[in-house]
Copies of this chain bind each other. A is one copy, B any other.
Amino acid sequence: MTTTTEPLSPTARTTVGRGRQRLVTERTALHALLDDALIAHLAVVVPGAGHPLALPVAFGVDLEGPDDGGTLYVHGSVAARWLRGAEDATVCVTVTELDGLVAARSAFHHSMNYRSAVIIGTARIVDELAERTRALDLIVDHMIPGRSATLRPSTRKEIAATAVLAVPLREASMKARAGGAGDEPEDVAAGGWAGHIPLRRVAGVAVPDADAHGPTPAAVARRAHRLTAAAAAR
């Protein structure tokens, strides 16, 4: 089932119409973006109402997961309306990392540097207890790698209260932009300044809760350090 080398944009609905010069086709670039990103936006069509709804979600990734192209997991409360509406429906998961602001010589050519992936697929509610438990650990470890192994196991009650949505990674497209302005030749010839402001996300030192005991766990300290280091190296 899993296909990890197929190029991106494998279907009509994941074919990029505009801005093809920003198209990314390597599936490894999608995997790297998913690794960098901390949140995604999950868009569903609200049942009954028929309008779109996009919500920010934490996510986890299992490239060897049971869905076509690997699995992206999203979790939410079992009582959340949007999650119920997503079951067996086509959903869209969009992951965007903003890398810079592009100041061109004209308003028209102002732009942003970014990496963004759009994943479209049929959402599957994860019923099986073992897969749901594993998905929750993947979501925690996506946030803070190595964290789940240091925690007590989730209780049956906690797992019962959590709905997990699985989205196949196969139908994905990706675009990216980097660098400076793409100005008109006559604007460049007229002189003047153009360029970009690089943006990155940095982490502060972990802040312990008032009731915390002991030193900052190694996985947490490492995550804070690496988030900042990875952004600086990009």
Q: A45-B51, A53-B118, A207-B180 are in contact. Are A103 and B147 (CB under 8 A)?
A: yes
Contact A41–B54 (Cβ < 8 Å):
yes
Q: A154 on the interface (CB 8 Å rule)?
A: yes
Q: A38-B112, A56-B94, A151-B105 are in contact. Are A193 and B213 (CB under 8 A)?
A: yes
Give the docked Cα–Cα distance between A49 and B12 (Å).
11
Q: A98-B38, A143-B101 are in contact. Are A43 and B46 (CB under 8 A)?
A: no
Contact A201–B200 (Cβ < 8 Å):
yes
Give the docked Cα–Cα distance between A9 and B162 (Å).
25
Chain B residues within an 8 Å CB radius of A200: 201-202, 204
Contact A197–B211 (Cβ < 8 Å):
no
Contact A213–B196 (Cβ < 8 Å):
no
Stoichiometry, as copies per complex, reads: 2
A contact face: mostly helix, strand, loop, or mixed: mixed
Q: A131 on the interface (CB 8 Å rule)?
A: no
Contact B207–A220 (Cβ < 8 Å):
no
Chain B residues within an 8 Å CB radius of A54: 41-43, 52, 54, 92, 94, 118
Q: A13-B51, A56-B116, A212-B194 are in contact. Are A39 and B101 (CB under 8 A)?
A: no
Q: A61 on the interface (CB 8 Å rule)?
A: no
- Indicate with 1 or 0, residue by residue over A134-170, a CB within 8 angstroms of chain B CB atoms: 0011011001100110011011001001100000000
Closest 8 CB pairs of A and B: A180-B209, A51-B90, A43-B54, A43-B52, A198-B204, A108-B158, A195-B208, A43-B43
Interface residues of A, Cβ cutoff 8 Å to B: 13, 17-19, 38-39, 41-46, 49-56, 58, 76-77, 79-81, 90-92, 94, 96, 98, 101, 103, 105-108, 110, 112, 114, 116, 118, 120, 136-137, 139-140, 143-144, 147-148, 151-152, 154-155, 158, 161-162, 180-181, 187-188, 191-204, 206-217, 220, 223-224, 227
